[in-house]
Amino acid sequence: MLLNSPVTRSIFNSFKQTICRLFSIHKTSPKLRRTNKRILTGLILGWLCISFSFGFSQLIGTFKGNTSVAATTIVPPFYTQSSHIVDSTGKVILLRGINWFGMEVETHAPHGLWVRDYKQMLGHIKSLGYNLIRLPYSVEALQSSQISGIDFSIGANIELYEKTPLEVMDLIIQEAEKQGLLILLDSHCLKDGHISELWYGDGFTEKDWVDTWILLAKRYKNQLNVIGADLKNEPHGSASWGTDYTSTDWRLAAQKAGDKILQVNPNWLIVVEGVEKNVPNQRQHGYFWGANLEGVREYPIHLKKPHKLVYSPHEYGGAKVSWFQDAAFPKNLYQRWEIGFHYIATKRIAPILVGEFGGYHVDSKSKEGIWHRKFVDYIKQNNLSFAYWCWNPNSKGTGGILQDDWQTVNAPKQALLSKILS
C-alpha cells in the first residue's frame, strides 16, 4: 500500500529523526527514549495517514479542481434540483461553456487543427475561464473512418494520425479531462453539415440517432468529465411540442431517447432544446431554431429519472429579427426571454442551460451589440449556465472567440463574456 512504499518509509524515517533531534530525545534515559519514540512514531504515522489521504483525494480529483470560474471544486456526476444543476456533493454549480465545432461537418474533427495542436486549444480554452466544451458531432461522422482538416506537417496532433472520428473524440475528451474541462456531447447533425428539422431524416432513421447515443453513453460511462447528452441540435420546421403526433412531437422523442440513454448511463444529464414553432397556445412567434420552450409550461418532459433533465434554448440577435424592430427595443427583450424559456427556472421546473448564443457585434450602439450585452447581463442576473457560440472564427454569421489566425483572442468579445466567467 501507499504507506508501505520505500519513498514513504524514507520520508517517515527522516521526519522522525528530525523530530527526535528537535525534542532532544537522545538526552533522556534509555527507557524514556523508547517510550517517547513510540509516542512520536504514532503521532507521525497519524500525520502521514491524513496527509497521504488528502493527497490521494487531490490526485483523484485532478480535473475537478478549478473547473468552475470561482475556483471551487465541482464533482461529477451532476443532477438537477429545482432550477439548479448540482454536483454529486449537492453543491450548486454553473457551467461556463464554449462550442468548438468541426466534428459535425466533413472534416469529422474539431476545426483549427491545421494551425494548432488540440492540447494547446484545450489549454487556451481553460485559461480563459471556461469549464465546459459543448462538442458537436454528426451521426455520419461517427459512422465514418475518415478525418481531414488536420495538418500533421506542423509537428502537432500526432496522436490523431490515422484515427477514426470516434477515436479523435476519445482523445479530445481524455485531454479535456486532464486539463480540467467538462464535455457536453451535442448531436448537431445527422448528415454532415446539415441540421435536420427532426431527429430523423437526411437518410438516417430514429434508430440511427438513438443507437449513436447509446454507443456514446456506454463508451463514456466511466469518463466522468463527459457530463451529458444534448439530444438534438435545433429542432425546427415541422418539429412540434405537445401535439402528440409521434412523427413530429419533439417532446415525446426526447423523453423516449432520454430514458433509453439513462438506462445505460445513469450519470448523464439529458439536455433538451426547444423547437421553432408548432406549440399549442404559444404566446410569441418568430423564434430561432431550438429557441421555443413555451411548450414546457403545459407539456413538460417526464423522464423516469427526473433529476437529470435540463432545458436548453438557443438565442441569437441579428438586425432582421422582428423584436429588434419593436419600438420597445431593448426593453422588450427581458419579457421575451421570460416567456420563451426562463419561466422554466422561475417556476423551478428545471434548470436552464443556454446551449448557444453569439454574434459579431458586442458594441453599445448596434442592435446586435445591445442585444449581446443585454443577454450577457441576463445570464449573470439569473445565474444561468451557458455554452457560447463559438470558439471557431470560421462561424458564418457570428464569428468566434478566436480571430482568423486561430491564435489571437477577440478581445472585445472575451471582455464581455468575462462578466459571466467570474
Q: What residues are labeled active site?
A: 234, 356
Q: Which residue has the cell 506537417?
A: 153
- According to DSSP, the residues that pair with 310 across neighbouring strands are 271
C-alpha–C-alpha distance, residues 269 and 349, integer Å: 15
- Whether the upstream peptide bond of residue 49 has omega within 30° of 0, thus cis, is no
Cell of residue 176, nine digits = 479535456
Please answer whether residues 392 and 114 qualify as being in contact, where contact means their C-beta atoms are separated by less than 8 angstroms: no
The dihedral built from the CA positions of residue 179, 85, 134 and 230, taken in this order, carries a sign that is positive
Q: Which residues contact 95 (CB under 8 A, 6 or more apart)?
A: 85, 131, 132, 182, 184, 353, 385, 386, 387
C-alpha–C-alpha distance, residues 342 and 81, integer Å: 16
